Structures are given as C-alpha cells and as structure tokens.
Amino acid sequence: MLFIAMSVAFIAAVILTPLVIKLAFRIGAVDRPNYRKVHARVMPRIGGLAIFGAFIIGYAILLPSDEHAAGILVGALLIVIIGFLDDMLEITAKAKASGQLVAALVVVLWGGLQIEMINLPFIGQLDLGYLSIPITIIWIIGITNAINLIDGLDGLAAGVSAIALIAITVMAVLMGNVFVAATASILAASSLGFLIYNFHPAKIFMGDTGSLFLGFMISVLALLGFKNVAVVSLVIPIIMLGVPISDTFFAIVRRVRMKQPISAADKSHLHHCLLRSGFSHRQAVLTIYGIAILFGAVAVLFSQATVWGALLLVLVMLIVIELFVELIGLAGANYRPLLNLVRMIGK
C-alpha cells in the first residue's frame, strides 16, 4: 500500500506541476531576474503547491496514523499559506517569521511534539524541562529556513530535500517508526515528481511555498523520528541535514566576520561558491547532491556505531567539512584557520 501511495504522489506531482505553471503565470506569481539570482528569464515560482498537493493525495491514500499527525498537517498548511503569500506579495521578514512561529506552535502545543530530553555520551539523559518548548520551536524554524536558504539553483532544494527524506525513511525503517517512514517516503516521492520540471534547466521554481513546506516537514519528521534515540539525540538529524545546516551556519559566520546583519542576503552560499570555483550549474547541483548523500550515509553509520566510534566519526566529519569550507571560501575568502594551521605545522 505504501508503494501505491508513493507512486500516486509521484504521478500527481508530475501532473500537477504543469497546471501550477499555468496558474503562476495567470496570477503573476513569478520570479524576475536580478543581480542575486542566476536565472535570466521570468520564472513561475509557486511550484510548492504541486509538491504539497501531491503529498496530500499520496497521504490520503495511506492515512498513516500518529498522535502528532493532525498538528503536523495543520502546521504544514499554515506554512504553505505563508510561503504562497510571500511568493505572491513578498511579505516582510517579520510577517514570514511570525507565520513560521505560529506553525511551529501548532505542532508543539496542539500536536504535542517536543524535544523532552537529550542523551549525552558519558553523562546520560538530560531532561530539558521548561526549555523543551523553545528548543523545539528553534529547531523547527531553523531547519525550515535552512532549506529555504539553499533554494538558489535549479533542482537544488528539491533534490537535497528528497535525499534527506530518503535518509529519514531509511532510519525510520531501522527504528520501526512506521508513521515517519511512510510520511517521509510519500513526501520524497512528491519532491522527485516535481524535480522532473525543476532540474536544470528548470521550468518552474518551488518558491517559498515549496522550500518552507519541505523544510518544515523535514524538521518535524526528523524530530519525531529521532527525539528519543539512545545516542546523542539530535546529532543524527543534524548530520542528515548537514548540507542546509552547514550552509546556514557558515553564512552566519561569514556575516559576523564581515560585520553584516545575520539576515543580510549575499551571493556566497555553497552553490554560489561552487559556481565561482568553475562548476557549471548542473555540476554544482550534482556535487551538492553527492555531499547530501554522504551526510545521509554518515548518519546511518553514526546510528549503528559505538559511542567512541560515533565520536570519532563526528570528529572526522567536522574536519572534512572545515577543510571543504575553507577551500571554497564558504565562510569568506580569508577564513582559513585550519589550512593555516596545517601550513604552520608543515614548516
């Protein structure tokens, strides 16, 4: 039955996307070129409606049950509305953040989804108490916006999201979480169906309608699947979402170093750096896909490793990430502490 739901979701996305393209041009939901963007023509940008519609169709076939399901679906609908309004009207950052906060509160307060404790190696279980709700909200809003930030090249956000959702599905199957596995796989199928029209050269962008929806769902599903895992609880989803989280983290580092507002826009995200390094549009996207797959594989290995093995794996991963960041200039052209240290030791 799950295979049928996934197949229907994929086909629904393939059918719905051309309809959304026509709708976008009719209502003026288009993205016009400017100095920060890599496309050179007017593009429809509410493709997230096709992803959302396909997901709902696939979900309705299977109707996976969970105590948090109603809150998640209502929160997702609110996020889609906020994204659609932004794609249509370009609402203020404050209004968009307020909408995300409301959606997160729906999941937390109505849906009952909270990070109640964190398992730390050598320390044990750390109950979060009153910090449970704010930490959960920060996680949801943070991941939601991390997916939004990487939506800068054709097929990038849709592909990275699909990879993350497939990794979440694999982990959920290993842990016996049927609801997360079913929901994540249906959403992955919807994203892949949309990707047919969104991969370079794209015929449509997902817009904030899609990137916020995918980010919101990924944040919630990752939380629901791994919040009580008997290892370092949040490390697995953090590794799994390594591409958007790393890009967001080093964007903050870059802006702090350059004394710019954290919310300031620039052209130094991961995909921009790869393009400046000589990668073609398609090569940059495929490279980031490869990195996302690597993160997913590391997350699976981490979940099966001993405590010492897991710590060693994280240490090696952090060193590799830092070297990669410094080589491509993701945190700024002059940010090379590890490379400088290596050179000093070499002398």
Taking 50 as the pLDDT cut, the residues of the chain under it are: 229-232
pLDDT of residue 122: 60
Query: What b/e readout covers 247-273, taking b as 16+ CB neighbours within 10 angstroms?
Result: bbbbbeebbeeeeeeeeeeeebbbbbb
Count, in order, helices (H) and strands (E) of the chain: 14, 4
Please tell me the distance from the alpha carbon of residue 88 to that of residue 23, in angstroms, as a whole number: 12
Predicted pLDDT of residue 231: 45
Q: What is the pLDDT of residue 185?
A: 97
Count of C-beta atoms within a 10 Å radius of residue 305: 16
How confident is the model over 214-232, as pLDDT tens digits? Answer: 999 999 998 887 655 444 4
Question: Can you give the pTM of this predicted structure?
Answer: 0.87
Classified as helix, coil or strand, 238 is: helix
- Binding residues for Mg(2+) are 148, 208
The predicted structure's pLDDT at residue 327: 82
Number of structural domains (the chain) is 1
> Binding-site residues, please?
148, 208
Cβ count within 10 A of residue 227: 18
100-142 per-position pLDDT tens digit: 999 999 999 988 888 777 766 666 677 778 888 998 999 999 9
pLDDT over 90 for what percent of the chain?
40
pLDDT given for residue 65 in this prediction: 83
pLDDT, position 232 = 47
Q: How far apart are CA 147 and CA 27, in angstroms?
A: 25
- Per the structure, the complete domain to which residue 284 belongs is given by 2-346
Query: Using an 8 Å Cβ cutoff, are 79 and 208 in contact?
Result: no
pLDDT at 146: 86
